[in-house]
Structure 1
Amino acid sequence: MKNILWFVVLFASFIFADDISNLQRVSGKFKQVSSGKTAWSVDYKNHVYYWADKWVRVKGSFVQVATSADNTVCAISEDNRAYRWRNKKWHIMADYEVIFIAVGSKKHIWGISAQNTIIEWDPLQKLWIEHPIEVSSVSVGRDGFVWASAPNNSSFFTNGQWQRSRADFRDIIVDDMSNLWALDVENNVFRLQNGSWVQVFPPALSQLSVSNGKVWGISSCGKIYRFESPVFASESEELLQPIEQTSWSWQELNDVVDRYFPYVYMSSEDRFHPSSVEWLLDRVSLVKKQSGEEVIVAKPPHTKEEVYKIKSPQKGALYYPSIKGTEAKRGDIHTATMYVNAKRINAYQDYTDIQYWFFYPYNGSGTLVIFGEIVPVSLFGAHEGDWEHITVRVDNVTRDVQAIYFSQHGGGEWIFDLSKIKWKNGHPIVYSSKHGHASYPKIGLNKDAFLNVGLVNKTDKGPLWDATGQLKIIGTWDELQSYVSPPQWLDFPYDWGMPRLPYSKELLYKSFPTLPRWTIDLVAPVLKEMWNTIVTGGPAGPKQKGSWDGPE
C-alpha cells in the first residue's frame, strides 16, 4: 500500500503557481554546486571552493563535488577517482573509477561508475557495491532515499529494492523522501508539495542542489544563486528578475552569425550529405496521400511553387516531397545552405541563442550496439528528410560564446566547458554521425545505450562542410524580424519526406537479418522505444519543432 501511495505522489498532476520564493545571486561563476551544511562548488578550471560568507578555495583539482547536511564532502578527480574531505585533506575512497558522486550523509553515499551503472558506498568494507542498472544521474537524501535517472526512464530506491517509474522531469533532486525537487526540460524548477508539483522558480537554472531546505543553483552561463524562504534566511546580493535585453542591430546579428557558424565534418562512411531545400525541390515530386492513395501533385520544375502554397494542414490529407526514383538522397555539400534562427527566450539572462539548421534529403539506416556487439541494420532509423541543428549561446554584451548545444535524435546536450569543443579559426567544429547526422563535439562511436543496447553514432573527419557564403537567416526575435525574408517553404506543415513505417516486430526482424529472433525478442522493448524516438521529429521542418521558439 505504501508503494501505491508513493506512485500516486510521483505522478500527481502539475499545479503551476506564482513564485513562492526568490532566487538570489551569489558572487562567483561555477560549473557545479552542491548544497550541504555549507555549499561547495567547482569552477571551470576544476578549482574547489566552500562557502563561508565568501568563496574559500581548498587544495586539489576536481571535476565534481558533493556534500550533505552533516558536512560530509566527497569529490571526483580528473582521473575518475572518488575522494573524501577529512581533517582538511582529501583522502581517496577506493581505487575504483567513479564519474559522478552524490552524498546524503556519511552513511549514504552513492555514485555512477565508469560503466554508467549505479554504485553504493559500503563504509564498513570501504568498497563500492554495484547495482545492475544503467543511469545518467543520481541524487540521495539525508534519510538514504535515492532517485536515479536513466535515459527516458527514472528509478527510485526504497524499502531495500529498486522500483522503476516514468518521470516528467529531466532531473529529480532529493533532500529527503518527503522533500523532492525537480528540473524540467525548460529549466523550470518544481517542488513536491501536498502531493502536487508546484513551480517555484522561473526557467533560469540548469543545475540544482538541495540539502536540509537549503537550495543552491547554477544558471546556464555559470552564475550561482540560492533560495530564500521563511525557513532559510539568505545573505545573498542580487534578486533574479527579468532584465532588459541588450539590443543588437541587424548588422551586429549578421556579424555574430558569421563569426560562430560551425564547420561540419561528415562521416567518411556517409554518402548522404546536406543540401539546400531549394536544391531538393528542384529534383523531386510533391506527393499527396489521402484515403490510402498516393497521387503526384507536381513534378520539377513546378514542385517548389506547389509546396509554397501549402501553409496549413488539410484535413485527411498528407503532402510530402518524394525522393523515390531520384538521386536526391546524396544531397550536395558544395551548395548546401546553413539556415539560421536567432532567438531570445529567457528574460532573466542577457544572451542570444543562434540556431544553425542543417537539412539532409535522406537519413540512412542506423548502427546499434547490442550487448556489446556492433550491429549494422538495414531499415532501423532510415527516413526521408532530416533536419538537424546546433545552437551557439552568445553573451549579448561581450559577444563571447557561453555554451553550445549539439542536437542528437530528438534530444541533445549542452556543453558549457568550451575546452571540450574543437575550434577552427574561431568556429566550433561539429562532427555529423554516420547516416543519422546527429551532432557531436568529438570523433568516435558516441554510443547512446541503455542496458548495453542502443545507438552507435560513428563520427570521423570525413568531407568538410564549410558554409562560408551559404548562411541564411530565416528567423529572429521581434525587434529584428522586419529585416528577415523567411523562405516560402518555412511554413510547410508536413514532414519533409514520405511517412515512416510504424513499429512492428516483423520490421525488427527485417532490420536484423543476421540475428536470431530470440535475441531480438529479448531486447525488443528497448528497440521499440528507440524506434519511436529515432523516427519521430527528424523530418519535421525547423519552425515546426519546439526548440524553434522554445528552449532546447
Structure 2
Amino acid sequence: MKPVMLTRWRHNVMVTAAFASIMFSSLLTSSVTLAATDADQDGIDDAVEQTLLAQYAPKLYLHPSEDNKLSSVDWYLQRVTMRFHHDGGCSDDQILAFNAVTQTNLSQQAHQTKNLICSHSGSNILSSQARNTRADEGFFLQPPNDNGYDKTVYLGSASSDWKTYAHVKPSSVQAGGYDLQYWFFYPYNDSPSVAGLDFNHEGDWEHVTVTVNSSQQFVSAYYSAHNGEGKDYTSAQLQFATKDGAIATDSQKLTNDYKHPVVYSAVGTHASYPTAGQQSRGVLPSDYTGAGDSFNTYYNVVNVGELSHPLNGQAFINYAGLWGEIGETDISTGPAGPAFQSAWNSK
C-alpha cells in the first residue's frame, strides 16, 4: 500500500472511531435521560424521592396509654360520610353516604351554598376548592354517631393497616437539598381542655420533615406540634434507628442503616417530640410521650406526589375539605388535608 493511501486509511479509522464514541456517549446520555421518571412533575426524579423516603423513614412511638391510634386514609374513608356545612343556622346536607366515600370521588363533588332562607341558590362549591369551611360553608367528613359508632372509629385501625403518607420537595431551608415530609393520620385528637374549652376534634394530620442537603445527607428534622409549637432538631438532639427499629448508639447515628429518626407521639394530641417523658408547653397543659406501640414506617411509606399530579393512586390529596366535623372553635374542628396545610410548601 502506498504511504498516502495508508495515511488516508488510518485517518478514516480514527474518524470512524471518534464518531462511534460520540454516538455511544449520546446514546448513553439519552438512556439515562429516558430512565429518569418524574410522574408528579415536581422536578425531582421519582426514584430519588423513593430512595430518600426509604432511607430516612422515621420510627414512631405511641404513648403506652394512647387510645386513639393511627389509621390509613382508605380505612377511614370506608367509615365516614361526606357532608356539607351550611352557616346561618341552615342544616347541613349529606353528599356521600356511609361506605360510599372513596379516594376517587372525594375531590369530585360539588354543592351549592344556601341563602338567608336556607335555599340552595348560592355559589357552587367544589370539594377540591380550598376555603374556610367552618366560616364560609364547605365539605367535611364525619363518622356516623349512631349507637356510638364514631367512638369506635376514633380508636383507629389495626397496626397492619397503618401508613405514612410522604411528600418530597426542594428544601425551603437548605439550598440544593430536599425536604422529606412524613404525614400520619389519626381519626381522633383527644386534647386536654383549657380554661373549660374543649379542644378535641375528629381527624388529626401530624407530620415530621427531614431535611437533607444536596449530597442527600441528614441536616435536621422538624417535629410538628399544635399551635405552631413545632421545632427543628439537629442529629445530636435526636435518636435514630434502623428500618427494623433497632436504636442507634451515639457512635452509630447516621451510619449504615441507623438513619431513621425516632419520633414520640404525645398521648391524645399526637404532637411529635424527639424524647419520651413530660413535654412542657409553658402555660398550656404539658404533653406526655412514651415508648408504647411502635411503627417502623419504612415498610409502609406511600409517596403521594404533588397536588396536580398525585402518585400511587393517592387522589385524596386533592380533597380540600375537612377530615372531621365542624366544632365550636377552629381548634375543635377537623383539619384540612396535608396539601391544604401551610406546611405542605414549607416545613
**TM-score normalised by L of structure 1:** 0.43
Matched, 1:407 2:224: yes
Aligned to 2:187: 361
Aligned to 1:383: 201
- Give the counterpart of 1:445 among 278, 281, 303: 278
How far apart are 1:488 and its partner, in Å?
2.0
- Give the counterpart of 1:543 among 322, 339, 345: 339
Matched, 1:323 2:150: no
2-structure distance, mates of 1:407, 1:348: 18
- Give the counterpart of 1:249 among 33, 40, 45: 45
2-structure distance, mates of 1:489, 1:251: 22
* Unaligned ranges ≥5, structure 1: 1-246, 371-376, 503-531
Matched, 1:339 2:138: no
Q: How does 1:126-165 map to 2 (within 5 A)?
A: none
Residue 299 of structure 2 aligns with an amino acid whose one-letter code is: G
2-structure distance, mates of 1:323, 1:355: 27
* Matched-pair contact (CA < 8 Å) for 1:322–1:498: yes
Aligned to 2:58: 262
* Matched-pair contact (CA < 8 Å) for 1:338–1:358: yes
Aligned to 1:276: 72
How far apart are 1:306 and its partner, in Å?
4.3
Aligned to 1:484: 311
Q: 1:500 to 1:347 in 2, by over 3 A?
A: closer
Aligned to 1:468: 298
Matched, 1:285 2:81: yes
1-structure distance, mates of 2:298, 2:185: 16
**What SS does structure 2 have at the residue aligned with 1:303?**
coil
Q: How does 1:19-168 map to 2 (within 5 A)?
A: none
* Matched-pair contact (CA < 8 Å) for 2:304–2:310: no
Q: 1:383 to 1:435 in 2, by over 3 A?
A: same
Residue 97 of structure 2 aligns with an amino acid whose one-letter code is: K
Aligned to 1:495: 322
How far apart are 1:346 and its partner, in Å?
4.0
**What SS does structure 1 have at the residue aligned with 2:211?**
strand
Q: 1:340 to 1:313 in 2, by over 3 A?
A: closer
Residue 56 of structure 2 aligns with an amino acid whose one-letter code is: Y
Which structure has the highest helix share of the two? 2
Deviations 1:131-187 (A, max 9, x none): xxxxxxxxxxxxxxxxxxxxxxxxxxxxxxxxxxxxxxxxxxxxxxxxxxxxxxxxx
Q: 1:346 to 1:284 in 2, by over 3 A?
A: closer
Aligned to 2:246: none
**What SS does structure 1 have at the residue aligned with 2:68?**
coil
1-structure distance, mates of 2:294, 2:153: 19
How far apart are 1:288 and its partner, in Å?
2.0
* Matched-pair contact (CA < 8 Å) for 1:442–1:459: yes
Aligned to 1:214: none
Aligned to 1:119: none
Deviations 1:85-115 (A, max 9, x none): xxxxxxxxxxxxxxxxxxxxxxxxxxxxxxx
Aligned to 1:457: 287
**TM-score normalised by L of structure 2:** 0.68
* Matched-pair contact (CA < 8 Å) for 2:80–2:98: yes
1-structure distance, mates of 2:84, 2:309: 34
Residue 107 of structure 2 aligns with an amino acid whose one-letter code is: Y
* Matched-pair contact (CA < 8 Å) for 1:285–1:298: yes
Q: 1:288 to 1:482 in 2, by over 3 A?
A: closer
Q: 1:313 to 1:404 in 2, by over 3 A?
A: closer
1-structure distance, mates of 2:304, 2:266: 25
* Matched-pair contact (CA < 8 Å) for 1:367–1:456: no
How far apart are 1:483 and its partner, in Å?
8.4
How far apart are 1:271 and its partner, in Å?
0.8
How far apart are 1:535 and its partner, in Å?
4.3
Residue 178 of structure 2 aligns with an amino acid whose one-letter code is: T
* Matched-pair contact (CA < 8 Å) for 2:171–2:177: no
Residue 307 of structure 1 aligns with an amino acid whose one-letter code is: L
1-structure distance, mates of 2:174, 2:239: 29
**What SS does structure 1 have at the residue aligned with 2:220?**
strand
- Structure number with higher relative contact order (C-alpha < 8 Å, ≥ 6 residues apart): 2
How far apart are 1:388 and its partner, in Å?
0.5
1-structure distance, mates of 2:202, 2:309: 33
1-structure distance, mates of 2:81, 2:202: 13
Residue 153 of structure 2 aligns with an amino acid whose one-letter code is: A
Residue 484 of structure 1 aligns with an amino acid whose one-letter code is: L
**What SS does structure 2 have at the residue aligned with 1:469?**
helix
Residue 435 of structure 1 aligns with an amino acid whose one-letter code is: G
- Give the counterpart of 2:238 among 418, 421, 424: 421
**What SS does structure 1 have at the residue aligned with 2:205?**
strand
Aligned to 2:96: 298
The runs of 4+ residues in structure 1 deviating greater than 6 Å are none
* Unaligned ranges ≥5, structure 2: 1-42, 109-126, 243-257
Aligned residues: 258
How far apart are 1:280 and its partner, in Å?
0.3
1-structure distance, mates of 2:160, 2:95: 29
Deviations 1:44-93 (A, max 9, x none): xxxxxxxxxxxxxxxxxxxxxxxxxxxxxxxxxxxxxxxxxxxxxxxxxx
1-structure distance, mates of 2:310, 2:139: 30
